Chain A
Amino acid sequence: MSPISPIDILNVLLPILYAGTVLVYGRAFFSDVPWAKRIKTRFFLGTVTLHFVYLVLRTIEFRHPPVTSIFELLTVVAFSIAVAYLFIEFRTKAKGTGYFIANIAFLFQLVSSLFIRDLIEVPEVLRSNLFGLHISSAMLGYAAITISAVFGFLYLMLYHEIKSSRFGIVYQKLPNLETLERMGFTAFKMGFLLLGIAIVVGFVWLPSSGLDFSYLDPKLVGTVLIWLMYGIGILAKRRGGWKGRRVMMLSVWGFGITVVSMMVINLFLSGFHKFD
């Protein structure tokens, strides 16, 4: 019987830690528990640090970045969401939304931990560092878009509560509308920037990758269109004076369109963006 490796331990531990993060943020959000309020960010930070160690260990052990299967990608997405959220929390100092984000990270990590396999034999193309940069910036970008959509959704919920004079838990606990808008738009911009990096790195790397590729690959075109849509959103806010609910609607709709288009591309269209 082979001994249990640190990777196996972390694979089991990470969903538990994310569940713990959800619990701590939940206790702080719903019950105002002082100890939970005190430790929640540190707990999340600790979880993310261990997650980083896990990803590094996997990369070293299996000699490729953990992006070669859907379940490896899911753990990277969970990590990216957590990192992007903590960055936004640090930037905006608003800590009232972590519960909702931690839930998403927990869900992704749980599915990943349940089904992830140790793949040593993977196509050589997936061992490239540029590919690693391409995929990690793309994952962080999609994570930021997801977070932006969550903030957008929370904004719309709070907007609706205030508008209809219902003062429930959302009204009491969430940051104010403008803060939510700022957090959402910060994530929105992060998503645009990171997807931009992913696209540029992808374009630079493709010719040297040895792949039989086309610039008209559905996923590539889809990603560029999504990126452009977010770019137009930023322009609309900066130049067109879009504010408040309209921007947050864009955030939610942008995420919806992204998810649907990626599902259509992955399920119904073929291209070189498949490596398994």
Chain B
Amino acid sequence: MNLVCIGISHHTAPLEMRERLWFSEQEIKDALSRFRREGIGEAVLFSTCNRTELYVYDSRPDLRVKTLQDLLLSQKGTTARVSPDLLFTYFASGAADHLFRVASGIDSMIVGDVQILSQIKEGFQLSQENNASGFFMNKLFQAAFHVGKRARTETAISEGAVSVSYAAVELAERIFENLGKKSALVIGAGETAQLTAKHLKSHGIGRLLITNRTSERAEILAREVGGSTIPFDDFCNHLTDVDIIITSVLSDTFVLSVDDIRGIVKRRKASTLFVIDIGVPRNIDPASKEIEGIFLYDIDALQGMIDENLQKRQSEIPKIEAIVGHQVSELSQWYTSLHVTPTIAALREHFETVRGEEVAKNINRFTPHERELVEILTKRILNKILHRPTINLKNGQSGASSESLLKISVLRDLFGLGSDRRDEGIDD
């Protein structure tokens, strides 16, 4: 199949190079328009923070990878600043295999990243909206989405938190039944605290309080996540009202001592309290961990959880590779089948033409009754001759794609059948 994939990713290039080849939505649209003007067949381009990939399906046998590379680099005006050596290239089923691996999340920087599938979907949708994709890309990307879905539903590739902020929320969900009925207090407005607050909100936390030494930062975060702020000097008065506390402030001493925590737990009458201390140095006395009814996690405990989850994800890769292999094989069979049917039709048409011409030349030698018999007899002989090749060709659809394509090629060459389905854009 005339499928080519070229791109750049965290496997082949550092961030500063990937940035240079990052395409915005408008830039993707512009690039797709240009590819069309340049006569490129079907194209899908998507760009994320870790990769930019271009998939091209084109019937021209003379289309060179160099042309595509130049098109991609020149489109971003980076010809001189990004070396083509940093780009990877895959062909035919290798390109499909790569796309499926990307869609499943096993090629991501963080194995099992769930965002990549929606980013590929967006890229494909842009291609459709800009009339840059046709029947082949449709089939290829639907297969990729199927792989992505299977990877997530049939394996544990995206299970378990792999970031500190997400690990905090995952833990909260293992403790509480309904986050919608719980309230959380975020002390500090640093990056991880912000991310944790956002994750809590997206998981439906009922009430979110934010406090920070610099109240403006707390207010900005509160506006962003739909929470409310409380003065930093007053947060101790709210500790008994919340079920989750996230602390991330810079302090030389503990923000909450063991006695503070014990007092909170006592006043909460044994209601579970979940505390995430992501401050370095730690904000909460680690001895508080021993108090009944409190779950205290610091950055190291969360990191341990993340490492374990990453290991588990790694162990799922062989299952995904089996899914990818199966899907590549299905795609190849489908592609081969596109050639088989027209070839069988062309072969039959060719033999029928020969038979018809020969019968027509000699038909006057026979009586009207014999003419009918001649028609039946020659057709029967023709059917018998073509039966075995037809069966073999059809059976070959489920075998190796290259072998079937070779048979088709030989047949077409021997009988002068011409190229098949050129008008539909398929080529050997």
The residues of B that contact A244 with a CB separation of less than 8 Å are 270-272, 293
Nearest chain B residue, comparing its CB with the CB of A92: B177
For residues 163 through 203 of chain A, which have their beta carbon under 8 Å from a beta carbon of chain B?
163, 165, 167, 171-172, 176-179, 182
Interface-centre pick from A178, A179, A182, A241 (highest chain B CB count, 10 A): A178
The reply to whether B174 and A245 contact each other, CB–CB distance below 8 Å, is no
A165 to B171, CA, bound (A): 10
B112 CB to closest chain A CB, in angstroms?
Answer: 15
The reply to whether B175 and A242 contact each other, CB–CB distance below 8 Å, is no
The reply to whether A182 and B177 contact each other, CB–CB distance below 8 Å, is yes
The residues of B that contact A241 with a CB separation of less than 8 Å are 269-270
Task: Given the known inter-chain contacts A34-B154, A167-B308, A182-B177, please indicate yes or no for A162 contacting B270, CB distance below 8 A.
Answer: no
A246 to B270, CA, bound (A): 8
A163 CB to closest chain B CB, in angstroms?
Answer: 6
Number of interface residues of B (CB under 8 A): 24
A133 to B297, CA, bound (A): 51
The answer to the question of A8 belonging to the interface, with a C-beta cut-off of 8 Å to chain B, is no
The residues of B that contact A34 with a CB separation of less than 8 Å are 154
A242 CB to closest chain B CB, in angstroms?
Answer: 6
A176 to B271, CA, bound (A): 15
The reply to whether B297 and A32 contact each other, CB–CB distance below 8 Å, is no
The reply to whether B177 and A178 contact each other, CB–CB distance below 8 Å, is yes
Nearest chain B residue, comparing its CB with the CB of A171: B174
The reply to whether B269 and A243 contact each other, CB–CB distance below 8 Å, is yes
The reply to whether B305 and A177 contact each other, CB–CB distance below 8 Å, is no
The residues of A that contact B289 with a CB separation of less than 8 Å are 163
Nearest chain A residue, comparing its CB with the CB of B269: A241
The answer to the question of B88 belonging to the interface, with a C-beta cut-off of 8 Å to chain A, is no
The answer to the question of B292 belonging to the interface, with a C-beta cut-off of 8 Å to chain A, is yes
For residues 288 through 317 of chain B, which have their beta carbon under 8 Å from a beta carbon of chain A?
289, 292-293, 295, 297, 301, 304-305, 308-309
A interface: dominant SS: helix
For residues 173 through 207 of chain B, which have their beta carbon under 8 Å from a beta carbon of chain A?
173-178
The 0/1 profile, CB within 8 Å of B marked 1, for residues 238-250 of chain A is 0001111110000
Task: Given the known inter-chain contacts A176-B176, A241-B270, A243-B271, please indicate yes or no for A162 contacting B295, CB distance below 8 A.
Answer: yes
The residues of A that contact B271 with a CB separation of less than 8 Å are 243-244
The reply to whether A178 and B176 contact each other, CB–CB distance below 8 Å, is yes
The answer to the question of B256 belonging to the interface, with a C-beta cut-off of 8 Å to chain A, is no
The residues of B that contact A165 with a CB separation of less than 8 Å are 297, 301, 304-305
A34 to B304, CA, bound (A): 29
A72 CB to closest chain B CB, in angstroms?
Answer: 39
A32, A162, A182: the one within 8 Å of B174 (CB): A162
The 0/1 profile, CB within 8 Å of A marked 1, for residues 247-288 of chain B is 000000000000000000000011110000000000000000
The 0/1 profile, CB within 8 Å of B marked 1, for residues 32-70 of chain A is 101000000000000000000000000000000000000
A163 to B171, CA, bound (A): 11
The reply to whether A245 and B295 contact each other, CB–CB distance below 8 Å, is no
The answer to the question of B156 belonging to the interface, with a C-beta cut-off of 8 Å to chain A, is yes
Which 6 pairs show the lowest CB-CB distances between chains A and B? A178-B177, A241-B269, A165-B301, A243-B270, A179-B177, A177-B175
Binding site for A on B (CB under 8 A): 154, 156, 159, 171, 173-178, 269-272, 289, 292-293, 295, 297, 301, 304-305, 308-309
